[in-house]
Amino acid sequence: MDMSIQNKAVDPASSILYLDGVSVSFDGFKALNELSFVVQPGEMRAIIGPNGAGKTTMMDVITGKTRPDEGEVYFRDATDLTRLDEARIANLGIGRKFQKPTVFESHSVYDNLELSLKCDKGPFKSLFSRLRTEQHARIVEILETIRLYDKRDWLAGNLSHGQKQWLEIGMLLMQDPELLLVDEPVAGMTDAETVQTADLLRLIAKSHSVVVVEHDMDFVRSLDCKVTVLHEGHVLAEGSLETVASNPQVIEVYLGR
């Protein structure tokens, strides 16, 4: 069955993200149950699943917010992510976008990006740090990518919901991560914004590995990538959207509802 696809895919020698047998439980509730899957370098992957399937918990485990009870999580085959904290993981090159857009609301759009710049992030460096010209240029470049150049001096708190989502994606790009984890990027967006976001993600996927968690089927279809279906904390099916959509189990637990 579809499980076989997953087994074939396990080739740790060339993975950017490698999860094996990860379990997490909260007060007896198993949020993740022997979850295993692999993301190849440069790949874009969509993760879908009903509420409570463990999508957000999976992101928490990868980014160091939650420690798994058991299982292995490796980044680029070499780094054990279960031992590191959020900041270390972020600096390794894993960026995360939250479900609810979180930006620094009392800072300008420009400052939001500047703070996300990839650089030494120790407190004493920041105390005496000054922006260099090429860094400024990089910020301007991203401002243009996320279409917020005109609003660079706005306080981020004054942006619309969709603009905040883009700003957050822009902040991830500033970190120049190898792997981006994007949680429901189009939730609450207008149709036009959704289309633009899909374009943006495809653009990003050209130079980064991206894992997108999403509910919106049309959006997932427009991403045109491999899909992993999560259910009750483990992988139910994996493959192209067409393959998983025709899987009877998937239809039963998710699409059929």
Partner 1 sequence: MSTSYVTEKGPFVSLLTGLPGGGKAFMGILLAAAVFIVVGNQIIPEDNFFHVPTYMVSLLGKYLCYALLALSVDLIWGFCGILSLGHGAFFALGGYVMGMYLMRQIGDRGVYGNPELPDFMVFLNWQELPWYWFGFESFAFTGLMIMLVPGLLAFIFGWFAFRSRVTGVYFSIITQAMTYALLLAFFRNDMGFGGNNGLTDFKEIIGFDLRSDGTRLGLFVGSVIALAVGYLVSSFITQSKFGRILIAIRDAESRTRFTGYRVEYYKLTVFVISAVLAGIAGSLYVPQVGIINPSEFSPANSIEVVIWVAIGGRGTLWGAVLGAILVNWGKSYFTGALPEAWLYMLGGLFVFSTLALPKGIVGTFPIFYDTIRRKLGRRADDLSNVKEGDA
Partner 2 sequence: MYFLRTALIFGLLFVFAEAGQLVHAETLQDLTQALSVKNYTKKAAVVEKLAATGEVQANTILSALMDGALFTRKSDGKIVLGTKIKKNYLLVDPVDGTELGEVQKSALKKVRINNKVRIAIRAGIGRLELTSADPEKRISAAAAIFKSEAPAMLPVLRALVKSEKNADVKPALIRSVAALELLYGDNHDVQMFAVADLKAAGGPEVKALLNKVLINLQLNEPAQNSELAAAIRSAIAAIETQLETYGLIENLFQGVSLASVLLLAAIGLAVTFGVMGVINMAHGEMVMIGAYTTYIIQETCRIYAPGFLDFSLIVAIPLAFVVAGTFGILLERSVIRFLYGRPLETLLATWGISLILQQLVRTIFGPTNKEVSTPEWLSGAWEITAGLSFTYNRIAIILFALVVLFFLMMVLKKTLFGLQMRAVTQNRMMAGSMGIRSARVDAMTFGLGSGVAGMAGVALSQIDNVSPNLGQAYIIDSFMVVVFGGVGNLWGTLVGAGSLGIANKFLEPYSGAVLAKIFVLVAIILFIQKRPRGLFALKGRSVEG
* Residue 128 contacts partner 2 per CB under 8 A: no
From 6, 5, 1, select the one nearest 19 (Cα to Cα).
6
Interacting residue with partner 2 among 1, 7, 13, 26 (CB under 8 A)? 26
Place of tokens 């609301």: 105
Torsional sign, CA 224, 229, 230, 231: positive
Tokens standing for 226?
Answer: 């491999």
What is the distance between the alpha carbons of residues 237 and 2, in angstroms, rounded to a whole number?
A: 5
* Residue 63 contacts partner 2 per CB under 8 A: no
Task: Write down the least CB distance from residue 56 to partner 2, Å.
Answer: 7
Phi, psi dihedrals of residue 54, rounded to the nearest 5°? 105, 15
Q: Helix (H) and strand (E) counts for the chain?
A: 11, 10
Q: Which of residues 101-130 bind partner 1 (CB under 8 A)?
A: 102-108, 110-111, 114-116, 118, 121-124, 126-130
What is the distance between the alpha carbons of residues 31 and 104, in angstroms, rounded to a whole number?
A: 30
Task: Write down the least CB distance from residue 176 to partner 2, Å.
Answer: 27
The smaller minimum CB distance to partner 1, of residues 10 and 147, is found at: 147
Task: Write down the least CB distance from residue 25 to partner 2, Å.
Answer: 9
* Residue 79 contacts partner 1 per CB under 8 A: no
Task: Write down the least CB distance from residue 187 to partner 2, Å.
Answer: 17
Q: Find all residues with CB under 8 Å of 213, minimum gap 6, and list them.
A: 46, 47, 48, 55, 56, 59, 99, 181, 182, 183, 184
Interacting residue with partner 2 among 8, 13, 27, 123 (CB under 8 A)? 27
Interacting residue with partner 1 among 4, 7, 153, 191 (CB under 8 A)? 153
* Residue 56 contacts partner 2 per CB under 8 A: yes
Place of tokens 């490698």: 18
The smaller minimum CB distance to partner 1, of residues 138 and 234, is found at: 138
* Residue 90 contacts partner 2 per CB under 8 A: no
- Total of residues contacting partner 1 (CB under 8 A): 42
* Residue 85 contacts partner 1 per CB under 8 A: yes
* Residue 31 contacts partner 2 per CB under 8 A: yes
Q: Which residues of 14-53 are buried (b: 16+ CB within 10 A; e: fewer)?
A: ebbbbbbebbbeeeeebbbeebbbbbeeebbbbbbbeeeb
Residues lying near partner 2 in the complex (CB under 8 A) are found at 26-27, 31, 56-57, 60, 66
